[in-house]
């Protein structure tokens, strides 16, 4: 829906404002490494696990579980260095030698790279128990596009992850049949910025915002759109996979964190961010709360640093989720 060809942004409720403010003054994490399952002989994928909150999530998993972990990321050299550093830090902090961390190279901003990555993973593993869709792009320079011409955040944060999950679904669902209910999970990393997304999550009249004047507001709306889409997909996944009754699909905002996501921010935004954001380690607690807490149910949304919360009311719409799902299927069909 539009007003003079501009997206409509719904007004925030008191509860929405409370959630936004919570990010500045979150409660201390209570669900931490002491509460994580052993996860012995299980397999985990973390996208973007070579940097930021993904790095901390992988480190916490490597230090506190016995799972086999794979990082899916774009930069081979950077990721191999990160894995080496994670293993050193795990040995120091957790006093153990972690199970070797695997690496699969893929670029979520290039849909042609995803199927080869999944095929490589399938050549190495016969099961998959947990997927943390953590990688993301935040407010890149205006006009940034993926290899296939989508707005970079929509193409990477949404379509890239959708295709990856779509291709992993067969092994993931097969594994879930042999797991107790709730062990197999998909964790879609979204953001409180979803509250700034267009009505219904997506500005369907102009998904790339090609005709929308670019300013500080639309910059946030574009990012919010991609994160609202992740929430819609998290809620839609169980509807489109009704046989996967043991699986939980959930989304979250990891928190307002000091990570490389802010690399495209202005000098003032970076200065303000240092005053108002938290160490990235805290964000891992949010992600792993969603991944492991027995209190999580299908479609739940969590906030920093491991608390249940809500999503903007219009993002609970089945119609909105189904429309996005159908579009994602259509756009990724050529790459399956």
Of 59, 207, 227, 235, the active-site residue reads: 227
How far apart are alpha carbons 324 and 114 in whole angstroms? 20
Contact indicator for 86, 62 with CB cutoff of 8 Å: yes
Sign of CA dihedral 65, 281, 233, 150: negative
Cβ atoms of 134 and 48 within 8 Å: the answer is: yes
| Nearest residue to 18 (alpha-carbon basis) of 307, 277, 321, 320 | 307
C-alpha to C-alpha distance for 62 and 44, rounded to whole angstroms: 10
What is the three-class DSSP state of 115? Answer: helix
Is 223 annotated in the active site? yes
CA–CA distance, 225 with 47 (Å, rounded to integer): 20
| Radius of gyration in angstroms for the set of CA atoms belonging to the chain, rounded to a whole number | 19
145 is annotated as an active-site residue: no
- What's the N-to-C CA distance of the chain in angstroms? 31
- Catalytic one of 36, 70, 223, 285: 223
- How far apart, in Å, are the Cα atoms of 160 and each of 88, 292, 329? 31, 24, 12
Structure tokens belonging to residue 115: 């199927």
Alpha carbon distances (Å) from 264 to 21, 64, 106, 304: 23, 33, 22, 23
Query: Quick one: DSSP state of residue 261?
Result: G
How far is 74 from 113, CA to CA, in rounded Å? 10
Residue 187 has phi, psi (to 5 degrees) of -110, 110
Report the sign of the C-alpha dihedral through residues 261, 297, 318, 304, in that order: negative
- The CA dihedral of 70, 74, 77, 81, to the nearest 10 degrees, is -40
Rounded CA-CA distance 47/299 in Å is 20
Catalytic residues: 223, 227
């Amino acid at each position: 829906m539009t007003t003079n060809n501009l997206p409509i942004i719904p007004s925030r409720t008191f509860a929405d404002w409370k959630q936004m403010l919570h990010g500045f003054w979150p409660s201390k994490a209570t669900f931490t490494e002491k509460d994580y399952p052993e996860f012995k002989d299980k397999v985990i994928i973390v996208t973007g696990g070579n940097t930021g909150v993904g790095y901390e999530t992988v480190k916490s998993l490597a230090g506190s579980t016995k799972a086999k972990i794979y990082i899916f990321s774009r930069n081979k050299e950077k990721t191999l260095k990160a894995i080496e550093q994670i293993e050193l830090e795990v040995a120091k902090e957790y006093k153990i030698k972690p199970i070797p961390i695997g690496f699969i190279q893929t670029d979520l901003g290039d849909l042609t790279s995803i199927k080869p990555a999944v095929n490589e993973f399938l050549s190495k593993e016969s099961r998959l128990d947990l997927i943390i869709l953590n990688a993301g792009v935040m407010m890149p320079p205006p006009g940034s596009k993926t290899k296939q011409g989508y707005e970079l955040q929509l193409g990477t944060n949404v379509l890239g992850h959708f295709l990856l999950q779509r291709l992993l679904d067969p092994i993931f669902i097969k594994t879930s049949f042999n797991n107790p209910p709730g062990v197999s999970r998909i964790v879609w990393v979204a953001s409180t910025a979803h509250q700034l997304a267009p009505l219904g999550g997506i500005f369907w009249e102009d998904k790339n915002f090609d005709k929308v004047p670019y300013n500080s507001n639309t910059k946030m709306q574009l990012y919010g759109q991609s994160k609202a889409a992740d929430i819609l997909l998290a809620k839609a996944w169980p509807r489109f996979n009704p046989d996967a009754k043991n699986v939980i699909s959930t989304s979250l905002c990891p928190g307002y964190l000091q990570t490389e996501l802010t690399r495209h921010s202005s000098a003032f935004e970076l200065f303000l961010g240092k005053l108002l954001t938290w160490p990235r380690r805290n964000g891992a607690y949010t992600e792993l709360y969603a991944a492991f807490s027995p209190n999580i149910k299908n479609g739940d949304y969590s906030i920093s640093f491991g608390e249940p919360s809500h999503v903007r009311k219009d993002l609970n719409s089945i119609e909105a989720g189904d429309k996005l799902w159908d579009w994602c299927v259509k756009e990724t069909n050529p790459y399956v």
